Amino acid sequence: MLAVMNATPSPSLIANLRAELMAHAPFAQMAPEDVERLIAAANQAYFEPGEVVLSPASGTVGHLYFVRRGSVSGRRGLAESSGGFEYEAGELFPVGAVMGARAVSSTYTATADTFCLMLPAQTVHVIAKTSAPFADFLNRRVQQFLELSRKSLQVAFASQTLSEQSLETPLGELVRRVACTVSPDTPIEVAMKTMHDKRIGSVLVTEDDSGCAVGILTRHDILGRVTLPQLPLTTPISSVMSRPVATLTVNDTAQDAALIMSRQGIRHVPVTDANGRVVSVLSERDLFALQRLSLKQVSTAIRAAPDAATLRVVAGDIRRFARNLLGQGVRARQLTELISHLNDVLVERLVMLTATQHGVDMSRACWLAFGSEGRGEQTIATDQDNGLVFTSDDPARDRPAWLAFARDVNEALDVCGYPLCKGNVMASNPDCCRTQAEWLERFEHWIDQGAPEDLLNASIYFDFRPLAGDASLAAPMRDLVTRHAARNARFMKQMADNALTNRPALNWRGGIDAQNEGGQSVVDLKLHGTAIYVDAARLYALAHGVARTGTRARFEAVADAMGVPPHEAEAWIGGFEYLQLLRLQVQLARDRREAVDAADGNPNLIDVGALNDIDRRVLKESLRIARRLQQRIELDYAR
């Protein structure tokens, strides 16, 4: 190591270094005077290629290193085969060792001519006490990067959004009217007069002692339940109110309200405090004043569509709606959940329209979603993965009619912008159009036999979810997968091996391993990113008998059972959802034809060279977390 700067730097040098540091997180979020204090106490050091910067033998770490130029790679002793990690210009290391006042557990080596600014640990701790952004970054580095990236993406899409307020706003922060409530024994006449006098569209029925909602009466209810039946107006409101009433709490978000209104077809949602007491009521009009293009508007248009041609037009609103939400700063989980929900509504409408045309009875069948749609994790660029389970005492006789129906649904979905599956995982394929008994036999065969093709099928089909028709037909299938897979150790070992097939896009030093395509350095965010998280979550969910299909829900459910610390489970979820957000960003830009390039043929390819500093660093961290997940799988199953 060669000390380049060991005296107090001049004011001009401090100013230049401050500008350099404040181009990177966390310094960009810090007060300039705090950055200057760090610089004034710092030294700069040069390391030649191959020179050891830090090792466990160095003892307690005395400095936090900021890489100005060059790069530093790290190796964890016996973990050579699992790959290293790399710090590039603009990155800090070793954060954990400095905050814990301990030695490093890895050996850090310069991989090029490297200049580092060495920030004394004592000064770092002092400034962390007065600078909240600095402290938050040091203690929650991954989470802070994710938040900074999300905010950066929000700014990038802000000019496209039609929203005036975020769907993430807690309902307690929305200024809304106090709920109008009556007791269950209130006469209908009194309730109607109250609604008329206050010019409101509904009245809540609450218990006198607890203030909890037990029912609701709307203007729409009055016509069908009071006027037409000519019910006496002295009748207690409890006889005609809708019950039970769906409620949300002040901590739920506008997005939660949007989903519950859309899913249940309701126009009012009572908002309660932590004790269940109603504090306000949110109407459809209140909620969707937040956005000019609303979830309710899109879903209502889909449900009212009379034919596939109309659905094709409305399907475009789903992409536009997703783009608007990116501009609001909505997170990946919420975005994919909303997109999946609207896709569900569209598929259900198309299935029912086609069933009417074919004269088939959907009470005797269930339309299934597989893959990303089955997990509720659809992005903008998604093809079809679906199937059908039907009831029949003679499957060979009835199957042709169901196949003809399914073929029309698949072709109509293709017209609506959901391409036909290249692997033919569609209900129009006889292999995907089966009775319940046939599906159960097939699932059991895959688990018991475990051939390579069976493992591939399991990774697609086991993430299923009922969308239209009789959902109870799919319940025994979920029970079989949840119970049977974990009992077959050989199958679980094969699933683990399958989950290790694709590796994260990292090179041997731990840097991003991009491929050159058309002059661009690209990474497949799905193949070498999200798919690794999805496979790991599925594996551990099957191993612990978890019936959930969503990747986030699976990680949350298995973390405790696996004894995983909360911060590690949060890292799994954060890494996966960040990669999902990047995929959405790429696909929405591609959908608008803002950038037609080498990545245009694959909607999951991202040009790493076009990423800003924050996104590049979070991408690398997300890939590192994916690699650690695979290392856990190897330890658990490669024995």
String of DSSP letters for 309-365: HHHHHHHHHHHHHHHHHHHHT--HHHHHHHHHHHHHHHHHHHHHHHHHHHT--GGGE
Reported as a pLDDT band with limits 50, 70 and 90, residue 318 is: confident
Could you read off the pLDDT of 226-256 as tens digits, one per residue? 988 889 999 999 999 988 888 999 888 888 8
> What's the CATH class of domain 2-139?
mainly beta
Reported as a pLDDT band with limits 50, 70 and 90, residue 78 is: very low
CB 617 within 8 A of CB 149: no
**Angle ∠(246,251,255) on CA atoms, nearest 5:** 65
Higher pLDDT, 121 or 146: 121
C-alpha 514 chain-centroid distance: 24
Ramachandran area for residue 593 (φ above 0: left; ψ -120 to 50: alpha; else beta): left
Reported as a pLDDT band with limits 50, 70 and 90, residue 638 is: confident
Query: What is residue 294's predicted lDDT score, i.e. its pLDDT?
Result: 67
Domain borders along the chain are: 2-139, 171-287
Largest distance between two CA atoms of the chain: 94
Query: What is residue 378's predicted lDDT score, i.e. its pLDDT?
Result: 81
Query: What is residue 148's predicted lDDT score, i.e. its pLDDT?
Result: 55
In CATH, the number for domain 171-287 is: 3.10.580.10
Reported as a pLDDT band with limits 50, 70 and 90, residue 147 is: low
Reported as a pLDDT band with limits 50, 70 and 90, residue 427 is: very high
Could you read off the pLDDT of 349-378 as tens digits, one per residue? 999 999 999 999 999 999 999 999 899 888
Q: Which amino acid is at 78?
A: L
Which pTM does this prediction carry?
0.66
Q: Which amino acid is at 431?
A: D
Query: What is residue 150's predicted lDDT score, i.e. its pLDDT?
Result: 57
Reported as a pLDDT band with limits 50, 70 and 90, residue 599 is: very low
Please count the other Cβ atoms lying within 10 Å of the Cβ belonging to residue 319. 18
Could you read off the pLDDT of 542-582 as tens digits, one per residue? 999 999 999 999 999 999 889 888 888 988 998 999 999 88
Query: What is residue 598's predicted lDDT score, i.e. its pLDDT?
Result: 38
Higher pLDDT, 37 or 168: 37
Reported as a pLDDT band with limits 50, 70 and 90, residue 3 is: low
CB 205 within 8 A of CB 184: yes
Task: Locate all alpha helices (DSSP H) within 359-488, ordered by sequence.
Answer: 371-375, 395-415, 436-449, 452-461, 475-484
Reported as a pLDDT band with limits 50, 70 and 90, residue 175 is: low
What's the sign of the alpha-carbon dihedral 103, 106, 107, 109? Answer: negative
Query: What is residue 592's predicted lDDT score, i.e. its pLDDT?
Result: 53
Q: Which of 84-93, 170-179, 577-586, 627-636 has the highest mean pLDDT?
A: 627-636
| Strand bridging mode 2-5 / 92-93 | unpaired
